[in-house]
Amino acid sequence: MPTFPAAKHLWHPLLALVMLLAAPATSQAIDPKFELDATALGKRYAIPPSPSAAKRQTAAEGPREKMSSYTLKRGDDLKRVLSREYGVRGARAEALLQRVAQVNNIKDIRSLKTGSTIMIPAEPLPAPKSARTRPRARHSKAVRTALRATSSGERTTPVNQTREADAVVAQAREIWNRLVPPDGTRGFEQFDYLSNSFSLSLDPERYPTLAAQDGGSILMDGRGTLPALVKTLIREENPQVRIVSDPPAYRQRFYRSLLNAARFYSFEEDFSVHFGADPQITVRADFKIEKSPDSLMRQEITLLNVSKNRRATPQGLVTLLAEHGFQLVEAGSPSYRGPGGGGGLLYRVTEEKPVKILDSFLDALAVPFETGQSIDLYARDNIGVRLEVPVDRYFAYKGRRYVAALFNGDPVNYTLIRLLETKGYRVIMLEEDDDLQTIADQLLPSLQLPGRYEEHELWPLRDAGYGVRISGVSIRGNGRGENIFVTDRPLDQLVRELAESNGYRLGGR
């Protein structure tokens, strides 16, 4: 039987395998202290720094800021608090505001609620030595873009310097205190910035500033000469500064930008407000401004007029606006320059009886008339018959003869008066309940005059910035070359004043 030399080397492992398979299948649990928590496998634990590394980290962080707490009261403005409680103003206040926002994790300074307690740094921390000694500063992308544009020769093209632009800016400064009352801590200040990279100073006369409603500031670049790089640096240093560079020659656009930058609660352009029904007074303003959410409820609304070459608003109208919660602010010093519009005669009919109303209408038209006349029906027929018909009024106008009579209920009288039309007379038949409108509907077509009784504007609203709308009859082309407006609506003192301010002379009987 042949032998295999290598078999003796395999015998012992095979015997061990057979014995293992023959053993009973039993199991033994692992000691719990050797088990692994599966959730712990995903955790990472920080390695504590060595004592030398901890010392270096503390030195890099620098000294800790000293803090003080302040609890906001009703009506508090954070910038005013810094001025009043801590004596910090101007650019220092802007820098400290940013630190307060960072320390307290405030996204919007305006959203702070009464009773909230905030931490205020006692003073800004000094810059680390490494930052002070490094000659190279790290700028934002906007600053780097502006630097490249400046170095490549790109410049902001200044607008033409004109007296009108400077005058509009001066007017804005004059009226702004009525829009945003000064508090002594902002507005009309000089912009000076000093940083590790640059120092910047602006001429306050050439680049005046205004206070914004939300505590920020508005920088006016009326001449358009502020370089783009400087604008970018200002915005980087103080986001609360809004630069207005719209040309003042376009007043509406310029003031729209100012009001946007002021951050009022709301403002509306080309606003109109109405008083009364008939007559109705309408006031148009370039802007309506609500400074706070409760301005409307408290009747504290500002109307702003900025249009060029406008006439001053009459004092009576200013008083009416104030009585209804509207404060009128007008840019510059507009003055009354005499009557505006076409004007004419504003005639008020106060009579109530139809014949008397007709008398007033004829008086307004300067048409003479006779009363208590009797017209001979056959006067021109020469047949030896005289038949007289009594009429209430007789008058002639532009070569035509007219008679007017009040119907008394007698059908014979009515028929005889109508027969006068066969003799060349134009007849106006009145009834007891006729008013100005009914009489006008008869009289004007008979006189061949244009016009009808309806609501009219006495003058265009755009001409004066205010207007009067009233029911009546507007007549033109009566031969006197003026507009005649006849109305039976009441005319109070203010309506009379406004009418006279716009060229109307008053009449009535």
Kindly state whether residues 313 and 438 are assigned to the same domain: no
β 344-348/388-397 pair status:
unpaired
Q: What's 75's domain CATH number?
A: 3.10.350
Mean pLDDT within 234-246 = 88
Q: Which CB contacts under 8 angstroms, 24+ apart, belong to 121-124?
A: 121/65, 121/66, 121/67, 121/96, 122/65, 122/66, 122/67, 122/68, 123/66, 124/92, 124/95, 124/96, 124/99
Confidence band of 391 (pLDDT split at 50, 70, 90): very high
| Domain-terminating residue out of 330, 362, 377 | 330
Please report whether residue 1 resides in a domain. Answer: no
Same domain, 93 and 205: no
Contact 498, 340 (CB under 8 A): no
Q: End of a domain among 230, 262, 294? A: 262
Instruction: Determine the pLDDT at residue 509.
Output: 79
Give the pLDDT score at 427: 96
For residue 455, being part of any structural domain is answered with yes
CA dihedral of residues 201, 206, 211, 213 (deg, nearest 10): -120
Same-domain status, 77 and 180: no
Give SS3 for 69: strand
- 235 with 275, same domain? no
Total domains in the chain come to 4
pLDDT over 90 at 244, yes or no: yes
Residue-wise pLDDT tens digits, 167-185: 888 889 888 988 998 765 4
Q: In this predicted model, what pLDDT tens digit does every residue of 423-464 receive, in sequence order?
A: 999 999 999 999 999 999 999 999 999 888 999 999 988 878
Q: What percent of the chain has pLDDT over 90?
A: 40
SS3 category, 394: strand
Interstrand relation of 425-430 and 400-406 (parallel, antiparallel or unpaired): parallel
pLDDT, residue 269, reads: 93
Q: Which residue has the tokens 């009546």?
A: 472
**pLDDT > 90? residue 26:** no
Residues 496 and 411 in one domain: yes
**Are residues 306 and 278 part of one domain?**
yes
From its phi and psi, is residue 194 left (phi > 0), alpha (psi between -120 and 50) or beta?
A: beta
Q: Nearest-CA neighbor of 70 among 121, 24, 124?
A: 121
As a whole number of angstroms, the distance between CA 502 and CA 496 comes to: 10
| Cα–Cα distance measured from residue 378 to residue 121, given in angstroms and rounded to the nearest whole number | 110
Q: Which two tokens stand for residue 505?
A: 């002379």
Residue 466 β-bridge partners: 283
Residue 436: which of 488, 394, 485 has the closest Cα? 488
Q: Please state the rounded mean pLDDT for residues 220-245.
A: 88
Q: Are 424 and 382 in the same domain?
A: yes
- Distance between CA atoms of 119 and 140, rounded to whole angstroms? 28
pLDDT at 341: 52
Q: Are residues 363 and 432 in the same domain?
A: yes
Residue 128 domain flag = no
Q: What is the mean pLDDT of residues 409-429?
A: 94
pTM of the model: 0.64
- Structure token pair of residue 489: 């609506």
Q: What is the pLDDT of residue 258?
A: 95
CA–CA separation, 437 and 477 (whole Å): 20
User: What is the pLDDT, as a whole number, of residue 451?
Assistant: 87
| Residues 166 and 98 placed together within one structural domain of the fold | no
**Structure token pair of residue 165:** 């632009």
DSSP secondary structure of 397-442: ETTEEEEEEE--S-HHHHHHHHHGGGGTEEEEEE-TT--HHHHHHH
Mean pLDDT throughout 367-393? 91
Contact call for residues 383 and 405 (beta carbons, < 8 A): no
pLDDT tens by residue, 94-106: 788 888 888 888 8
> Are 448 and 402 spatial neighbours (Cβ–Cβ below 8 Å)?
no
Dump pLDDT digits (tens) for 134-159: 444 455 655 555 555 554 444 444 44
Residue 116's pLDDT band (cuts 50, 70, 90):
confident
Residues 172 and 228 in one domain: yes
Q: Which residues contact 502 (CB under 8 A, 6 or more apart)?
A: 339, 340, 341, 343, 458, 459, 463, 464
CA 491, CA 99: separation in Å to the nearest integer?
63
Q: For 117-126, 129-138, 320-329, 366-375, which range has the lowest pLDDT when averaged over its residues?
A: 129-138
Q: How confident is the model at residue 479 (pLDDT cuts 50, 70, 90)?
A: low
Residue 254 is predicted with a pLDDT of: 93
Helices 163-179 and 251-262, interaxial angle, to 10°? 40
Q: Which residue has the higher pLDDT, 199 or 185?
A: 199
Each residue's pLDDT tens digit, 249-263: 888 999 999 999 999
Arithmetic mean of pLDDT over the chain: 78
Q: Would you say residue 135 lies in a domain?
A: no
User: Which residues constitute the domain of residue 82?
Assistant: 67-123
Any domain includes 60: no
**Cβ atoms 406, 354 nearer than 8 A:** yes
Same domain, 256 and 272: no
Choice among 201-205, 349-353, 446-450 with the minimum mean pLDDT: 201-205
Q: Where does the pLDDT of residue 203 fall: very low under 50, low under 70, confident under 90, or very high at 90 and above?
A: confident
Percent of the chain with pLDDT over 70: 72
